[in-house]
Structure 1
Amino acid sequence: MKNVKNLSAIVIASSALLLSTQANADTLLGGYLGAQAWNMDATGGFSENENIAGFAFESEQNASFYAALEHPIPLVPNIKLARTTMDTQGSTTLDTQFNFGDEVFLANATLDTQIEMTATDYILYYELLDSDIATLDIGVAAKQLEGDIVVVDQDGNMAEEEFDGMIPMAYAKVAFGLPLTGLGVFAEGTFLSIDDDSFTDYQAGISYNFVETLAIDMTIQLGYRSTELDIEDLDDIYANLEFDGAFLGIEFDF
């Protein structure tokens, strides 16, 4: 009986030590990663000068992936990386002459376009609030916008332009949780407005935490995302485009 009691004491002590170690590890270093499927609509147009041609774009399925690393070191910001595809295609019939690449497309020409665009966000942020009820993150971001645009008319004449630029932006994220339910709401975005250039990328939605353990939490998300860009002369590209639509996501918090 004495051996059984000793064994029980050892098991209880070992379990307590393990739980304490896991809690301390989570306090010292943590983070999250996730993925989203985005049902995206696109509107607007582009050009190589201020005479932007509008296109009728098709709805597309795109994706976003992100990961963040958080720590308790004072004054040192946390790090987050996010990558989003915004590929789309569309067509238009020109009202006026349209210059793009090395081609001149005349009025009444029918054009097809293929846009392959990726946005990569490099984010540094501080956690001003961090609890199960409310979180608030504030920081700065550098958004790398890169891609390729191809335009083809009905006669097979083709023009192509590539672009790659870095855009400084402000960053914010807020989330609220409903205790004991696993339900929450959140909003997150990056923003810029300088002179004639503006760029807004935000999302908002609801979340449900369906797995919660000492090692990892798993959350599903349902929401709406909108990306609006009005840029002048980004690698000789002028654009006024909006991408928006519903998304479904999953996030792992460790």
Structure 2
Amino acid sequence: MRRLFTILVGSAVLVAPAAQADVFGLGAQIGYWDSELSGDVAANGGSVDVKDELNLDGESSNQLSLYLEHPVPLLPNVRVAYVNIDQTARGRLSGDFDGISDGSDVRSDLELEQLDLTLYYEVLDNWVNLDLGLTARDFSGELLVQGNGQSSRTTANAVVPMGYLAARFDLPFSGVSVGVVGNAIAYSGDSLHDFNVYGQYQLSVLQLRAGYRQMAVDYEDGDDRFDVEIDGPFVSAGVVF
């Protein structure tokens, strides 16, 4: 992982800005994500389907982001983003899972939390906007399953480097644009990706967005493994200065 981190840092340096911001810019977004959940969580050799067995099939969540852009050559721009997914449900196991027997009625609590720090450069800044950089994602996941007098706690925690890309295409004189934002990494059997596509309308300092986001985590931490996918539509509102 250290070698991969070095490679990604080097790549970010190589895309040092062909077009950096002409003035200081500041923006913030707050959004509502109507997400659905699927996949498996494994612990101590057993696994459970979070949707079909635990009924953790989806719930709304908030997503936040903040960015700062500047005209200083070589120094990257900064973006911070946060999302927290917290769900509770009741279901029934269709097999043994980490000491809880087959057929048990269970209560499950799942929390997935991530905080991103992204350093990026503006490579293009006209009607086509392109940003490239590197994200450090502080990811944590916890699943607590309780039933039949037993309980199981599955956890994963890591700070993961990810490649970052954001592209936006502005329609002239309309305030309307379409875009895509993505983070991704795959290394040594683990993989994470997080993409969203959106349409945007901007009026003065106000930005309104609607789109679709997909996040997938396949990460192993010791005997615990999260292999889940969260996706669904989102809306957001923000301000830019």
Q: Please classify the TM superposition score into its range, dividing by the shorter chain length.
A: 0.7 to 0.9
Q: Does 1:79 align with 2:78?
A: yes
1:158 alignment counterpart: 151
User: For 2:103, what is the secondary structure of its paired residue?
Assistant: coil
1:96 alignment counterpart: 95
2:142 alignment counterpart: 148
Contact 1:52–1:239 (Cα < 8 Å) also in 2: no
**TM-score, structure 1 as length reference:** 0.80
More helix by share: 1
CA RMSD across the alignment: 1.8
1:122 alignment counterpart: 117
2:38 to 23, 37, 43: 43
* CA distance in structure 2 between the partners assigned to 1:115 and 1:249 by the alignment: 24
1:227 alignment counterpart: 215
1:135 to 108, 121, 129: 129
Contact 1:55–1:92 (Cα < 8 Å) also in 2: no
Contact 2:50–2:57 (Cα < 8 Å) also in 1: no
Contact 2:26–2:68 (Cα < 8 Å) also in 1: yes
**What does 1:201-220 align with in structure 2 at a 5 Å threshold?**
201-210=194-203, 212=204, 217-220=205-208
Deviation of 1:199 after TM superposition, in Å, equals 0.5
Unaligned segments of structure 1, at least 5 residues: 1-25
* CA distance in structure 2 between the partners assigned to 1:39 and 1:141 by the alignment: 24
1:3 alignment counterpart: none
* CA distance in structure 1 between the partners assigned to 2:44 and 2:196 by the alignment: 30
Give deviations 1:87-125, integer Å, cap 9, x for gaps.
2234543343211xxxx1122223331112211111010
* CA distance in structure 2 between the partners assigned to 1:162 and 1:53 by the alignment: 14
Q: Does 1:188 align with 2:181?
A: yes
Greater gyration radius: 1
Residue identity opposite 2:214 in structure 1: S
Residue identity opposite 1:136 in structure 2: L
1:60 alignment counterpart: 59
1:33 alignment counterpart: 28
User: For 1:45, what is the secondary structure of its paired residue?
Assistant: strand
**TM-score, structure 2 as length reference:** 0.84
User: For 2:158, what is the secondary structure of its paired residue?
Assistant: strand
1:197 to 156, 180, 190: 190
